[in-house]
Amino acid sequence: DVGEVERPHNDALMITAQVSGYEVQRVFVDTGSSVNVIFYDCLKRMELDIQLTPLHTSLFGFNGSEVTPLGEAMLAVVLGEGDLRKVKMVRFVVVDVESAYNVILGRPTLNAFQAVVSTYHMKLKFPVGDQVGEARGDQNLSRTCYQIAVKTNQRAEVKEGKKSMSSEKRPRNSDLEPHGELMEIQIGETEEQTTKIGKDLRNELRDQLIALLKEFRDVFAFTPEELTGIDPTIMEHKLNVDPLRKPVKQRLRHHGGEIDKAIEVEVDKLLRAGHVKEIQFPDWISNTVMVRKALNKWRSCINFRDLNLACPKDHYPLPRIDQLVDSTAGCELLSMMDASQGYHQIPLAPEDQSKVSFVTSKGTYCYVVMPFGLKNAGATYQRLMDRMFKSQIGRNIKVYVDDILVKSKSSASHSGDLRETFKTLRAFGMKLNPSKCAFGVKAGRFLGYIVTERGIEVNREKVKAILDMASPRNIRDVQVLTGRIAGLSRFIARAAERSFPFFKLLKKKSAFLWSDKAQMAFDKLKEFFGELPLLTKPEPGDELVLYISVGSVSLSLVLLREEGGVQQPIYYTSRVLQGAEARYSEIEKAALTLVITTRKLRPYFLNHVVLVRTNFQLGETLGRPTVSGRLVKWAVELSEYSIKYEPRRAIKAQALADFIQEGTKGEEKKWVMHVDGSSAAKGSSLGI
């Protein structure tokens, strides 16, 4: 029967199937596919604990387009409903490309289910014992997917360009932004050669700063031709390609008139700047993709995906964000600087230039400088910054990859700190982008936090993103919510406890249901975000104070400093109890909280004496030679830190009182046993 199918139609068969316990929509039944495909975005949202099997065979479409799979995965697929359900283990090829579908069921699965497909009836039928099971297609969803697929194909190059840089983000200024009013000043010979300074500077300081910027005008690049580049003897980027990997030469993709013209313009700019050159015999070839920017402009990107897969990870350490933010807060003046095309100022090793090649409709080119999108480019850049500013880092400058921030405890010393920085930039030949610099500001956004002289403030844009959220309607929305909460967790007392109803939804394998309890937690969370605390940073020699909160589902703590009887929070952190941890005794949970804290906030414990205020007898328990098991292990781990214990006192600050309330259970009461003497080791009797 045709049932409710709208006729006539040419719609594809789009069904819903259960995959590894999850109900998955947009499952495309494709009788022309020789493989089963699950798209990585879908697999990632399922959060399955599986290991992909390597697969070295590429997939080819009917137009010759090539896709390199991430690997294979064996997953259980259920078709049908009720007693007419059928289960098969299906081998899926995992691909990371944009698609209108979540899953493609090809001939291998259809044959395994002994399925008969009718696109006319929008059904798939299969035998279940002596009966017949079926999976009905969704015609409306099929048409929606078709429309999405058309749009996806139209912007495939743009999206692929973004995805190719997933492992190495393009440097940008979004994590370094001044707050407050700025004024534009001319520092070069022409009116266009300008930069920005804080508007509310004192006249004397402003004049001093302007004179300094004009003196060091040569550290700014107003045109690409002014980029002299770093001396290769100081730093150059090397690929270290796995010699066992076969070079991949991607075929030229045809983009169309407008995009081809934009690519040509970008390549001409790179040629004039000396960043690329033509090449006749490249080893690897990648494609150019274009990302549309604001004002209808384009940004060129190269899809280095195949080359990146052949390069091992450079594990050069990046600075800890919390330490960078702490050391920046409390400064009177800040200057935020951005290197002009920072990655392009680092030369590429000559022996690797033929590998970093790309093809356009006009020819084949290779980079002679480190391009955006290359794996390990960020590590190379951080290594250069650490080498350049070795004598300043930790004193008057902070660097996180391409984010450069000069900080001064007093406004009087800021010009001197900037002069020292400019001399270093001049010595190494590093150039700044004047349009993206701001000098002499009192506050700014740094690595996602707002740093001021008062302390560390929450980024109101992140708070607004949560306050503006509607109630989640699916698992994806819940994942977005928990991700945004995690980004603010340093400011949130008992974040894990407040978010627990949301975490429960992510663990469920049944159909999504946003309950009244989850809605209540969501509403309370929004109310709480109205007044997040101002955080402070510890000063050298401070004795820090730690409060612990043990709940039935989570562990929480707050680290703070006390000054003049005032308690100021430094860091909130929390975690949901996992597995057997929920069955720990209260004293074990308290000890676990302390252990987790020392691991997460290790630098604070290494550099300060920490006073733990708790009603749990932690000091006595962990100091006993008779304790065994996990407590002994934790006691040994904690022994390297200077930790003291004392009973909890009254909580003075409202933010800390909110942390304690409803969260902590009191100390376990000691049981007293009364024996009447009726049974004892020496016999039986009455009495005491």
Q: What is the pLDDT of residues 209-226, one digit of tens each?
A: 999 999 999 999 998 888
Q: Is the pLDDT of residue 25 over 70?
A: yes
Asked whether residue 435 is domain-assigned, the answer is yes
Element (H, E) at 328: helix 321-328
Which stretch of 578-582, 622-626, 660-664 has the lowest confidence by average pLDDT?
660-664
- How many CB atoms are closer than 10 A to CB 641? 15
SS3 373: coil
Q: Which of 492, 488, 407 is nearest to 449 (CA)?
A: 488
Pair (130, 99) in one structural domain: yes
Please give the Cα distance from 442 to 452 (Å, whole number): 6
Output the pLDDT for position 663.
44
Pair (464, 435) in one structural domain: no
Q: What CATH number does residue 88 fall under?
A: 2.40.70.10
Output the pLDDT for position 30.
92
- How many CB atoms are closer than 10 A to CB 149? 16
Q: Is the pLDDT of residue 450 over 80?
A: yes
- Residue 223 has, within 13 A of its CA and on its CB side, a CA count of 9
Output the pLDDT for position 293.
66
Element (H, E) at 311: none
Which stretch of 68-82, 129-143, 166-180, 240-254 has the lowest confidence by average pLDDT?
166-180
Asked whether residue 686 is domain-assigned, the answer is no
Asked whether residue 330 is domain-assigned, the answer is yes
Query: Among 129, 154, 179, which residue terminates a domain?
Result: 154
- Are residues 104 and 33 in contact, defined by beta-carbon separation less than 8 angstroms? yes
Output the pLDDT for position 363.
92
Q: What CATH number does residue 560 fall under?
A: 3.10.20.370
Output the pLDDT for position 100.
86
Asked whether residue 684 is domain-assigned, the answer is no
Pair (314, 444) in one structural domain: yes
Asked whether residue 171 is domain-assigned, the answer is no
Q: Is the pLDDT of residue 327 over 90?
A: no
Pair (387, 250) in one structural domain: yes
Pair (317, 415) in one structural domain: yes
pTM attached to this predicted model: 0.64
Residue with tokens 């270290």: 240
Pair (574, 511) in one structural domain: no
Q: What CATH number does residue 343 fall under?
A: 3.10.10.10
Which stretch of 151-160, 203-212, 529-538 has the lowest confidence by average pLDDT?
151-160
Pair (418, 469) in one structural domain: no
Output the pLDDT for position 313.
87
* Domain count for the chain: 4
Which stretch of 3-17, 98-112, 343-357, 486-500 has the lowest confidence by average pLDDT?
3-17
E runs forming strands in 614-651:
643-646
E runs forming strands in 223-328:
276-278, 285-292, 298-302
Residue 549 lies in domain: 543-660
Give φ, ψ of 177 to 5 degrees: -145, 125
Pair (201, 149) in one structural domain: no
Asked whether residue 551 is domain-assigned, the answer is yes
Output the pLDDT for position 670.
61
Give φ, ψ of 315 to 5 degrees: -95, 35
Of all residues in the chain, the percent with pLDDT exceeding 70 is: 86
Output the pLDDT for position 326.
85
Structure tokens at 64: 């010759």
Asked whether residue 500 is domain-assigned, the answer is yes
- What angle, rounded to 10 degrees, do the helices at 516-528 and 495-507 form? 150
Report which DSSP code applies to 186. Answer: E
- Are residues 131 and 67 in contact, defined by beta-carbon separation less than 8 angstroms? no
Query: Among 531, 559, 574, which residue terminates a domain?
Result: 531
SS3 426: helix
Output the pLDDT for position 275.
92
Query: Among 433, 451, 469, which residue terminates a domain?
Result: 451
Pair (352, 435) in one structural domain: yes
Q: What is the pLDDT of residues 151-202, one digit of tens each?
A: 554 444 334 334 333 344 433 444 678 888 899 999 988 888 999 999 989 9
Which stretch of 122-126, 271-275, 590-594, 655-659 has the lowest confidence by average pLDDT?
655-659
Structure tokens at 687: 């009495």
Output the pLDDT for position 258.
79
Pair (285, 394) in one structural domain: yes
Q: What is the pLDDT of residues 361-389, one digit of tens each?
A: 889 999 999 998 898 998 999 999 999 99
Structure tokens at 346: 């680092």
Pair (301, 438) in one structural domain: yes
Pair (206, 66) in one structural domain: no
Asked whether residue 376 is domain-assigned, the answer is yes
